[in-house]
Amino acid sequence: MNEIMAEEISAQSNTNDIWMDDQACEKARLSRDSRFDGKFYTAVLTTGIFCRPICPARPPKSENVRYYPNAIQAQQAGFQPCKRCIPEQAPALSLPVKMKQITQALENSDSSIATLAQQFDISERQLNRLFIKEFGVAPSKFLHHQRLLLARKLITTTALPITDVCFAAGFQSIRRFNEAIKKAYLCTPSELRKNKKVSTDKNTVTVLLPYRPPFDWPLMLSFLRHRQMSNVEQVTEQSYARVFQIDEIQGWLEVTHHKSKQALVLQVHMSDYKCLSQVINNVKRMFDLDADMNAIHNQLKQNPLLAKVISTYPGLRLPGCWDIFEFSIRAILGQQISVKAATTYAARIATRYGKTSIENPYGLTNVFPSWKELQHAEYEELGFTKARIATLKVWLAFYQHNQDIFYTYSSVADLEKTLTQLKGIGPWTVNYIAMRGLSDPDAFPSADLGIIKALTTTTYGETNKPSNKDILAMAEQWRPWRAYAAIYLWHSLSLNNNN
């Protein structure tokens, strides 16, 4: 077992230590400082309720308050979630990459704890220790709590039938679902929904996805709009929409910004809602909703160039993707050609090999094909070069047998070492896939022309173009946020163009 890797995960965990200092928590609670929303929770002994630090209710006396690092531990201690600040709607904590991989694998599969540990090459004991260190509970209790949170959110905010809520939240039987809700919230699912203002549309589900500010929603949409596949996605100045397929389940979704809250609004329609939690996780990753931008900025703004970009675009985040396979194909298509050309090629693949999409309000016609649907694709009619077709076929053959590597890799360096052995796949492609396809915060395409241009300086009329070695050395100070440095460097070029 790779216990060394597990120790590295453990060393990176618990980066949000504010909750351990009761005095700091007290100040944040009394000031209702939104920067600490989701970083700790306030439990009140006299009421048996736990709240977010931004709760609008009258602050309780200090002697009646206890602090918890997460909602799981507060609820495990017997406290009920506040009905005013709704703890389940707090922004999620930013986790180390490996812990995020493990938690997502736990939530998105039916695998046992033993299988999960084997998948990540660590022992069950070590996996258990990591969850207790990060969340205060074992993996099984963490998963149970995540299901309860989603169930409560769906019950109290949507008109989705209770039976559908049960399976959408990941429960395997109605009886166990009812028992879990009653034990956690001291009422039945129907009683929990009673008198709640829920959506009246039973054909779609609307979910609030909170984030910790700053977040520049128009800038995120602008980035995605220049890369949209017209038959799969629709990006306007206010919204992002797309059609999708997970296994045999088709659906469409639209993401907008809430009119008054620091949150995105996800509207989903699916032929079956049992994959709803996966859709939510995909969207959260796509729009980088779990990032703690203040922590990232504090490190990166020590560089004058990055500081200038951050001051101009404080809400700039790392745009992710809907699906890693779809993005990997798009990254290969984008090698050494323009963004517009790569997007056109991707749309052609969707039209030629993707299934006809479910009926949707946006006129979108195709879902992007899975690796199985591209397994025997020839691409000759799509205008690709022979070299690009060869690379796509090499990639498909590799992906078919090695797709787990994208969820269990130990570092970007190791991923690069493995993938660059494939003909046609270079360091830039690997890092771009890791950066936007896997949302790895430390991925860094150092050979990117935009990054080179951004770091090129002119002194007394002489141009100083940095070598790749120079760029990598400079980027060491930006770890573990090099991917954010990359996106800021790209945006620094637009600052120069505007001057």
Active site residues: 51, 448
Report the alpha-carbon distance of residue 382 to residue 483 in Å, rounded. 32
Q: In Å, how far are 94, 131, 399, 422 from 443, measured between CA atoms?
A: 16, 25, 20, 19
Give the tokens for residue 360. 């949707």
Helices 124-135 + 3-12 axis angle, to 10: 0
Give the tokens for residue 330. 């798009």
Report the alpha-carbon distance of residue 423 to residue 70 in Å, rounded. 46
Report the alpha-carbon distance of residue 303 to residue 187 in Å, rounded. 53
CB atoms within 10 A of CB 273: 23
Query: CA nearest 373: which of 406, 351, 388?
Result: 351
Q: For the residues of 125-184, what is the DSSP string, one character each? A: HHHHHHHHHHHSS-HHHHHHHHHHHHHHHHHHH----HHHHHHHTT-S-HHHHHHHHHHH
- Contact criterion met (CB below 8 Å) for 55 and 84: yes
Report the alpha-carbon distance of residue 441 to residue 107 in Å, rounded. 21
35 CB-near residues (< 8 Å, 6+ apart): 28, 212, 294
Q: Is the preceding omega at residue 81 within 30 degrees of 0, hence cis?
A: no
Report the alpha-carbon distance of residue 407 to residue 442 in Å, rounded. 15
86: region left, alpha or beta (phi > 0 left; psi from -120 to 50 alpha): left
Report the alpha-carbon distance of residue 152 to residue 193 in Å, rounded. 9
Q: In which order are the strands placed within the sheet that holds 233-235?
A: 205-210, 263-270, 249-257, 239-246, 233-235
Could you tell me how far CA 213 lies from the centroid of its own chain? 15
